[in-house]
Amino acid sequence: MSDKYRLKNWQELPFGGVITEGGNAADYETGTWRTWRPVWKEENCIHCLTCWVFCPENAFALKDGKTPGGKDRKEIREIDYFYCKGCGLCAKECPVNKKGKKEAVEFIREET
Amino acid sequence: MPKNVAITGNGAMAEAMRQINPDVVAAFPITPSTQVIEDFAKFVNDGKVDTELITVESEHSAMSACIGASAAGGRVMTATSSNGMALMWEMLYIAASMRQPVLMTLVNRAMSAPINIHCDHGDSMGARDAGWIQIYAENHQEAYDNMIMAPVIGENMDVRLPVMVCMDGFLISHSVETMQIEDDQQVSEFVGEKVPLNSLFDTDKPVSWGALDLQDYYIEHRRGQLEAMYKAKSVIEDVSKRFAEQFGRKYDLFESYRLEDAERVIVAINSVAGELKEVVDELREQGEKVGLLKIRVFRPFPYEDISKALEGCKIVTVMDRSTSMGAYGPLFGEISNALYNLEDRPLLYNRTYGLGGREMLLDDLKDVFQESKDYLNNGKVEKIFDFLKVRGA
Amino acid sequence: MSKYFEIRWHGRGGQGTVTGAKSLAEAVQGTGKHVSAFPDYGPERRGAPLRAFNRFSDGKIRIHTPVLEPNVILIVDPTLIGAKDIEKGVNDETVFIVNTEKSPAETKKALELDGQALFTVPANKISYKLFNREIPNSAMMGAFTKACPDVISLEALLKQARHIFSHVLAEHLVDMNIEAIKCGYDEVQK
């Protein structure tokens, strides 16, 4: 943990508990909460971004890509395990998984 | 130009608000403070102020709107009484802990039930732990002067706390009395502009207000808030000094009236101090060594200064105009705290008076001094706590 | 005796007694004196007996308690003559000003006075004539300055009253109230 998250003395706190920096949730490692792990299977993924929409920790990173027809679109790049807390919502909501034939997000136990 | 006027206490507070010209006023009028907002609404309507007047649906909303507008960077005022302030309860704490220097006229009125619109201090005393600076006033002039000083105190960068300016319901709020309204321009210069701090309107520097604290930070935030109260004490003294230099009326944290060689002292708050001064003068003429200590600033409470002021007197009667059910009066508690560490402590006792507007005549107050004389002669206090002028006693 | 000049008004809710006390205070304030004005703060009920008070002084007024020993008693409603609490705190010097069409002699008798100065003024009659309703306070103020010219002269009262009324009343009502003060002054009997 950086010094930024050292517990501060009362003299160091801003007035009234105000939070002066935006987006500081990005610094918070929720990956340590994980006991189950989603594994993204690029070969089965249709890049519908349902997992990206549902992920509560914004763990799905995106990249620029093209549709099979050649149009611009966003595609999944990877799961960022610094944030992924292993809730499994991605695997549960994945439309590829729902069809039941193959999995675009596999949900497995963390190794012990 | 300053001018002498005959005006009600509420009218005087509305004048102070007009001169302060706040950015936002959010209020839900309640007796006996109604006229403050009525008069101020006229000023808004007549274009005499630049204020956005928000007419809300409850006092809870009034204080919520005040906090939001203050966090947005504005100078914000309101007025209320009694049950109205009670409905603000949770927001009072939030205003203080979020360090929003909201300014309030509190016209002291008894808490229900039974419903009573008259004066006692049960409302503000109930809110004494909420984190607001509390300044009390004996009369119209003091209430007005305190309100002119309030923004300068509350918005000071070392303080940033809300300020409650209290005056007695009806006795002051509704009576007409001679007082001096200062020059608009001079008041405007005295109060200056509020310097916004982490304003919600500062889009270049966005901030979050009202976040969560768990066990790891809450106590540190409270400690920081307390520091602001400590600092408020000297800020109040400085601002009062500046006020005296500019407008000629001198105020301290409390008023010592003929205390120098006093043996018997009454400690009291607000309008009864006027009557007490009259009685002290009369008894002094008869050679009795009596005096009055009138509290002006109740939060932060100036323990050490008061202990010094009362050192050497022989008996102290604390008159509370509110009751903390099951305990001694709130003012008595503080005076008792202040005196405990004195080596040579005076005798000390507590009398509750004036609940729900029960009047105290000059003769009643002479009786109080007579009782302290008897106690002093006997060398002991017979009853530490009692109600005054209650039937069936 | 108090060191202040003290007045006690006895009226009924809805007659403008409290406004009368406040207006008189403002007028006297305009002459450079310290003043106060306030009623007994009871429930406000039309017709119920009420009291209002004034204190005037060259110095600061520090007390807010009801007037117990008035220099002047103003009885704003004739049906209050003989009411019990009116004589409270009266001494030989107390001056009475009574709204009545009866003679001073009759009124003195009804009030059982021991020779205190008493002035009568038909303030209701004046009020009906001017406003077609019962708001006797302006006429009472006129009678007051006749009885107590040392506190405020008629000229000063008229000047101040015009100034005070013009803040709260339409112009024709200001004129009518000024007229009521003059009539009150003129029709006083001792």
B14-46 residue pLDDT tens? 999 999 999 999 999 999 999 999 999 999 999
Q: pLDDT tens digits for B212-271?
A: 989 999 999 999 999 999 999 999 999 999 999 999 999 999 999 999 999 999 999 999
Q: Do the chains contact at B224 and A19, CB–CB below 8 Å?
A: no
Q: pLDDT tens digits for B56-93?
A: 999 999 999 999 999 999 999 999 999 999 999 999 99
Side-chain half-sphere exposure of B324, counting CA atoms within 13 A: 16
> In a 10 Å sphere around its CB, with 0-12 CB exposed, 13-18 middle and 19+ buried, how is residue A88 labelled?
middle
Q: How far is B363 from chain C (nearest CA, A)?
A: 11
Which amino acid would we find at residue B224?
A: G
* Closest alpha carbon to C64 in B290, A112, B140: B140
* Cα three-residue angle B9-B15-B16, rounded to 5 degrees: 90
Tokens 């409650």 found at: B164
In percent, the amount of chain B with pLDDT more than 70 equals: 100
pLDDT of residue A6: 87
How far lies B196's CA from each of B165, B181, B228, in Å?
22, 28, 17
pLDDT of residue C1: 59
DSSP 3-state assignment of B234? helix
Return the partners of chain A (3 or more C-beta pairs < 8 Å). B
Tokens 């009866």 found at: C102
Q: Do the chains contact at C65 and B4, CB–CB below 8 Å?
A: no
Question: Is this complex's ipTM strictly greater than 0.95?
Answer: no
* Closest alpha carbon to B160 in B237, B70, B91, B254: B70
Under DSSP, the state recorded for B383 is -
d(CA A87, CA A102): 20
Q: Which residue of B has its CA nearest to A10?
A: B220
Which residues of A, range 50-79, sit inside 8 Å of B by Cβ?
Answer: none
Q: Can B3-247 and B254-387 be said to share one CATH topology? A: yes
Side-chain half-sphere exposure of B23, counting CA atoms within 13 A: 20
Candidate from B177, B274, B359 with C-beta closest to C66: B359
d(CA C84, CA C82): 6
Q: How far is C105 from chain B (nearest CA, A)?
A: 35
Q: Where are the alpha helices (DSSP H) in chain B?
A: 9-20, 34-45, 59-71, 82-87, 89-97, 122-126, 140-154, 184-191, 218-247, 272-285, 303-310, 330-340, 362-378
Candidate from B139, B174, B359 with C-beta closest to C65: B359
Tokens 């607001």 found at: B132
Candidate from B6, B172, B174 with C-beta closest to C26: B6
Axis crossing angle, helix B140-154 with helix B9-20, rounded to the nearest 10: 30
pLDDT surpasses 70 at A52? yes
Burial readout B194-204 (b: 16 or more C-beta within 10 A, e: otherwise)? bebbbbbeeee
The answer to whether B215 contacts chain A (CB < 8 Å) is no
pLDDT of residue C42: 74
Whether omega before B113 lies within 30 degrees of 0, making that bond cis, reads yes
Are B76 and B47 in contact, with CB atoms under 8 Å apart? no
Neighboring chain B residues of C34 at a CB cutoff of 8 Å? 178
d(CA C163, CA A38): 84
Q: pLDDT tens digits for B119-132?
A: 999 999 999 999 99
DSSP 3-state assignment of B274? helix
Q: Do the chains contact at C37 and B6, CB–CB below 8 Å?
A: yes
Q: Which residue of A has its CA nearest to B212?
A: A17
d(CA B170, CA B118): 7
The answer to whether B205 contacts chain A (CB < 8 Å) is yes
Q: Which of B93, B99, B220 would you mutate first to test chain A, the one with the most A CBs within 10 A?
A: B220
What's the CATH number of domain B254-387, 3.40.50.920, 3.40.50.2000, 1.10.599.10, 3.90.420.10?
A: 3.40.50.920
Q: Which residue of B has its CA nearest to C66?
A: B361
d(CA B109, CA B123): 7
DSSP β-ladder status, B3-8 and B176-181: antiparallel
Q: Do the chains contact at B211 and A15, CB–CB below 8 Å?
A: no
SS3 per residue for B276-293:
HHHHHHHHHHCCCCEEEE
Distance of CA B314 to the CA centre of its chain: 28
- For chain C, the domain total comes to 1
Q: Does domain B3-247 have CATH number 3.40.190.10?
A: no
**Enclosing domain of residue C85:** 5-186
pLDDT of residue C2: 79
Which amino acid would we find at residue C100?
A: T
DSSP β-ladder status, B347-352 and B315-320: parallel
d(CA C59, CA C36): 12
Are B317 and B351 in contact, with CB atoms under 8 Å apart? yes
Q: Average pLDDT by consecutive 10-residue portion of chain C (190 residues)?
A: 91 92 96 95 83 96 96 96 88 96 95 93 97 94 97 97 92 96 97
Domain ranges for chain B: 3-247, 254-387
How far lies A36's CA from each of A31, A52, A90, in Å?
11, 18, 12
Structural domains of chain A in order of their starting residue, each with its CATH number: 28-109 (3.30.70.20)
d(CA B147, CA B15): 10
How far lies B75's CA from each of B97, B150, B195, in Å?
17, 11, 9
Q: Which residue of A has its CA nearest to B218?
A: A17
Q: pLDDT tens digits for A65-104?
A: 999 999 999 999 999 999 999 999 999 999 999 999 999 9
d(CA B146, CA B364): 29
pLDDT of residue C164: 93
pLDDT surpasses 90 at B149? yes
pLDDT of residue A1: 47
d(CA A63, CA A76): 6
The answer to whether C89 contacts chain B (CB < 8 Å) is no
pLDDT of residue C83: 85
C181's tokens: 């003060």
- DSSP letter for each residue of B45-108: HTTSS--EEEE-SSHHHHHHHHHHHHHTT--EEEEE-HHHHHHTHHHHHHHHHTT---EEEEEE
pLDDT surpasses 70 at A2? no
d(CA A38, CA A34): 10
The dihedrals phi and psi of B137, each to the nearest 5 degrees, come to -135, 135
d(CA C21, CA C55): 10
> The domain spanning residue C95 has which CATH number?
3.40.920.10
d(CA B94, CA B157): 18
Candidate from C25, C41, C65 with C-beta closest to B357: C41
d(CA B69, CA B78): 12
Mean pLDDT of chain B: 97
Are C21 and C7 in contact, with CB atoms under 8 Å apart? yes
Return the partners of chain C (3 or more C-beta pairs < 8 Å). B
The answer to whether A17 contacts chain B (CB < 8 Å) is yes
Which residues of B, range 125-164, sit inside 8 Å of A by Cβ?
Answer: 160
Q: How far is A29 from chain B (nearest CA, A)?
A: 18
The answer to whether C170 contacts chain B (CB < 8 Å) is no
Which residues have CB under 8 Å from C85's CB, separation 6+? Answer: C10, C51
d(CA A84, CA C35): 76
The answer to whether B213 contacts chain A (CB < 8 Å) is yes
Are B303 and B258 in contact, with CB atoms under 8 Å apart? no
The answer to whether C19 contacts chain B (CB < 8 Å) is no
d(CA C24, CA C181): 11
How many CB atoms are located within 10 Å of the residue B18 CB? 21
Q: pLDDT tens digits for B320-376?
A: 999 999 999 999 999 999 999 999 999 999 999 999 999 999 999 999 999 999 999
Are C35 and C54 in contact, with CB atoms under 8 Å apart? yes
Q: Do the chains contact at B224 and A10, CB–CB below 8 Å?
A: yes
